[in-house]
Amino acid sequence: MSEVKYRMDIAQAEFSALWRFWQDRRLPVSMKLRMYRLAVCTTFTHATESWELTETVRKKINGFNSRCLHVITGKPHRETATNPTYNLVLDIRRRRLRYLGHLLRMDPSRLVRRTLLAYIYGGEHIPEGSLLQDCPELPLESLVEMAMDRPKWERFARKTL
């Protein structure tokens, strides 16, 4: 959680630095949303693959996203939380699935891949917030086979979420 708060603080500083941009009524909301994704969200999502994406963390991320979208779009907080114009949590989950595919495609001798497999086989269930949280029902062999085919893995990552 400390890493999430740290990244959130950095992203909040980036968001605040662009305050005049968000307040400019001459600019279309679509342009502001692109700027938000490029300047603020990329800063925030750095190294999200290593986070434990628990329910508490997802709520914190959604709250941050909701506050920012409220300023950008002018929509009420509740609406931006329940039906966001840009879903930051979903973007992070897709990013994590793409990273999982990258790990599964690695050479079996690589330490990071061996660590992931030990983590998977070491426990009886997949812990909340792990990289595998979005594909718990699939056996590891199926995931590895799917990951070897990049386009198939990308379709899986987009379709799963």
Buried b (16+ CB within 10 A) or exposed e, 117-156: eeeeeeeeebeeebbbbbbeeeeeeebbebbeeeeebeeb
pTM, 2 dp: 0.85
Per-residue model confidence (pLDDT) at position 125: 64
Confidence of residue 159 (pLDDT cuts 50, 70, 90): confident
Question: Alpha carbon 25 to chain centroid distance?
Answer: 30
Q: For residue 20, give both structure tokens.
A: 């005049």
Q: How distant, in Å, are the alpha carbons of 64, 89, 123 from that of 61?
A: 5, 7, 27
Q: What does the pLDDT look like over 49-102, one tens digit per residue?
A: 888 888 999 999 999 999 999 999 999 989 999 999 999 999 999 888 899 899
pLDDT above 60: residue 123: no
What's the rounded Cα separation, in Å, for the pair 100 and 111?
A: 14
The pLDDT value given to residue 136: 65
